[in-house]
Amino acid sequence: MSLSRWSCRCVPPLTATFALGAISCAVLAQTAPEVIITGSIAERAAAEAPFAINLVEREAFRSAGPMLNLSEAMARVPGLVVSNRSNYAQDLQISSRGFGARAGFGVRGIRLYSDGIPASGPDGQGQVSHYDIAGAQRVEVLRGPFSVLYGNSSGGVISLISAPARRAEFEVEGDVGSFGLHQLRVGVASPFGEGFDFRAGVSTMEIDGFRPQSSAQRTLGNLRLGWNGPADSVTLLVNELDQPAQDPLGLSREQFDADPYQTTPQALQFDTRKTTRQSQLGASWKHRFGDGALRESQLAVYSGQRAIRQYLAIAAGTQAPPRHGGGVIDFNRDYQGVEARLRWGWSQADLVLGATLDRQNDARRGFENFTGTGAAQVLGVLGRLRRDENNQATSRDLFAQGEWTPTAGLAASAGVRSGKVRLTAEDNFLSNGNDSGRLDFSYTNPVLGLRWTVAPGLNLHASAARGYESPTLGELAYRLDGAAGFNTTLKAQTSRQAELGAKWRSGALQADVAVFESRVADEIVIASNSGGRSSFQNAGRTLRRGAELSSRLQLAPAWRVALSATWLDATYLDAFKTCAGIPCTAPNLAVPAGSRLPGTQRNSGWAELAWKDAAWGEWGLEARGVGRTPVNDVNSDFAGGYGTASLRWSKGYALGGSGRRLELLLRVDNLFDRVYAGSLIVGDANGRFFEAGAPRNAMLALRLVGGL
C-alpha cells in the first residue's frame, strides 16, 4: 500500500472507528469520499451503514460562504435544522428530528464533537462556536437509533473532522461582505519525514451585523500535530477561541411586524453582550497489533477551559427579590475527559469494548447589571455579587458494539452503552438560601441494526434503540416554587427509536431515504420563564415521526442537481399545564394533546443546481424552504414559513508555473430579499420570540493557495 495515496488522520467519535465515542486515527483512501467510520466499528462506505448518515464535504463548505458557521452548508442534510441566529452572542440553534428544538441557549439533545473532543458537556449541553469550518475535511451527521451509542443526550451526533496534511501547502484568504463583514485567514500544512505532519490555522473576523447592537469579533486558532509509525499513531490537537459579541435580543410579534431589523430598546439600554474565551488540548494514541484477533487499542485524553461573561437585559427591579441571581452571568469552566477502547476482529465479525470518563467543573457567579439608584443609576455594568457556586457534572460510561457479516449481502450490528451522570451544585452565597444539591442519573442504551443488499447498489437497513436524556445543570438550577435547592422533581426523558431506510447508488445517481419514529416519555419542557430564571418540568409523552430524502444526480459532465427534503410530525401525546405568565408558582395554562413541539417544522427542503465549465467557473443556484414554526408549547403564535434563494460563482486561476492559484468565490444570499424569522427563542417569557433572518447580502472571498 503506497503512502502517497493513503494518510492517517484523527477521527472523532462521529467517524467510523468511533461508533462509541472514541478518538481514533483511521487510514482512508483519498479516492473514497463516501467512506465513513461514524457509528461503525471499522471504516465502510456510507451506503453500507445500517443507519441514516450524511457527510458534508470540504468543498461544500468552501462554496457555501465565509466558513464561519455550520449553518452555511448544513441545509443539505435532511432531518437536521441548523439556524443561524445572526447573533454571535448566542450559539447556533440545532435540532435533529426534533431533538434539541426547544433549547433556548446553546445546543441541547445532540452530541457534538470536534476532532474527537466532545463539544457537549457530560450533562448534554453543548456549543459549536469554536468549530474550525475552514480547516475541516468534512462534517458527519448521524441521526436516529445508532446515536444512542454516544451516551447521554443523543438525539443525533455531529462531528467535525479536520483535514490531514497530505502535502506542504499554504492558504491565505480574505473575505469582505455585507453588514461590515471582514475576515482574514491564514493556514499552513506540511508532512515531514519519519511520519510527522502538522496543520495550523488562524483567523480573525469582524462584523457589524444588520441589526443595531449585533457587532462581533472572533479570533480562532487551531493546531494539529501527527505522527504515524509502523504500529502506532499519535495526534495532538490545540484550539483557541476569543469571541466578544453584542446581543440584539429577540423581537415581539408587534416589533417584528413593524420592523424585523430593529433592536429591542432593552438591548441598547443594558448594552447586552457576551464574551467567550476557550482553550483546549487533546491527544490520542492508537496502537495496531499483529495478525491475531486483537486488532488495535486506542487511548484519548482532552482538557480545556471555557470562560463566559454575559450581560443580560434584566430590569433592576426584577433583581430585587433576595433569591435572584443577577443580570450578569460569569463562569469559568474546566473540563477533562479520557476514553480507552480495544477492538477485536475475525473473518466475519468485529467487536469493540471501551470506557469513558468526562467531567466539567463550573465556577459560576452572578452579578447585578447596574450600579447606583435613581438618577445616579448606571445600567449594563458589573454590579454587586448575587450568586456564587461551584457546579460539577461527571459521566462514566462503558460501551460495547459488535458487527457480524454472515454473507456479503447481510450484516447485523448490536451495541450497548451504559453510564452514570452525576450533577452537583455547591452554593457559596448563602445569604439568600442554600441552592446546593446533587442528583444521580443512570442509563443503559441498547441498539440493534440490520443491513441487507437486495441488488447491486441498493441496500436496505433497519435499526431500533432506547435513548436517554438527563436534565442539564441549567435545567435543575431553579425550582418552580422559588424555594432553594435543585429541582429534584425533574426526571430524565427516555426514548424508543426505530428507523427504516434505503440507499441507492447507481452510476451518476445516489439517493437515501429514511422513515423514523421516536416515542419519548417524560419530555423535559419549560414550566416557567421569568427574569432570567427558567424552571423545567416533565410533560409526559411525545411523538416524533417523519421521512427524509437526500439525493444527488450528475445530469451531465457539467451539470449536477442535489436536493433534500424532510417531513416531521412532532407532537405532544399527553396534555399538561404550563405557566400563563409571571409570577407563577404552579402551572395554570393547559397545553392540549396534539399540540406541536415548539421550534419544529413539519416541512423543509433544500435544492441545488450547479453548472461547471473550465472557462466560466462554477455557477450554483440554491433554494431553501421551511414550514411555519410554533413559538411555544401552547402554539399561540407561529413564525411564518418562508423560501429563500442564493446564487454563487467560483473560479480558480493558475498563477504562472508556480503551482499556486487564486480562488474566487462570490455569493448573494436571500436573493429576493425575503423577510422572515430565521430563528426563534422558544418560550421566551417576554414574548420576544423572533430573530430575523438576514436580508439580501453578498460576500466576496479571495483565496491564495499553493505549495510551500
Task: Give Cα separations from 535 to 217, 485, 632, 664 (angstroms).
Answer: 32, 12, 15, 49
Give the DSSP letter of residue 91. Answer: P
Could you tell me if residue 166 is inside a domain? no
Could you tell me if residue 606 is inside a domain? yes
Task: Give Cα separations from 301 to 18, 24, 158, 280, 338 (angstroms).
Answer: 14, 11, 19, 11, 4
CATH of the domain at 306: 2.40.170.20
Sequence-distant (6+) residues with CB within 8 A of 651 are 616, 617, 618, 663, 664
401-422, pLDDT tens digit by residue? 999 999 989 999 999 999 999 9
Query: Shortest CA distance to 281 belongs to which of 298, 299, 302?
Result: 302
Query: Shortest CA distance to 138 belongs to which of 201, 75, 63, 56?
Result: 56
Per-residue pLDDT, 328: 96
Could you tell me if residue 377 is inside a domain? yes
Per-residue pLDDT, 708: 81
Could you tell me if residue 109 is inside a domain? no
Could you tell me if residue 251 is inside a domain? yes
Total domains present in the chain: 1
Could you tell me if residue 153 is inside a domain? no
> Which H/E stretch holds residue 269?
helix 265-269
How far apart are the C-alpha atoms of 467 and 655, rounded to whole Å? 54
CB 522 within 8 A of CB 561: no
Could you tell me if residue 148 is inside a domain? no
State which residues form the domain around 628: 173-707
Biggest CA–CA distance in the chain, Å, is: 81
pTM: 0.91
Per-residue pLDDT, 32: 44
Per-residue pLDDT, 153: 80
Per-residue pLDDT, 14: 33
> What burial class does residue 581 get, using C-beta atoms within 10 Å of its C-beta: 0-12 exposed, 13-18 middle, 19+ buried?
exposed
Per-residue pLDDT, 48: 87
Please state whether the peptide bond connecting residue 13 to the residue before it is cis, i.e. omega within 30 degrees of 0.
no
Residues of the chain falling short of pLDDT 50:
1-33
Task: Give Cα separations from 177 to 218, 610, 621 (angstroms).
Answer: 16, 23, 19
In this structure, are strands 80-83 and 93-96 parallel, antiparallel, or unpaired?
antiparallel
Buried b (16+ CB within 10 A) or exposed e, 100-112: bbbbbebbbbbbb
Could you tell me if residue 4 is inside a domain? no
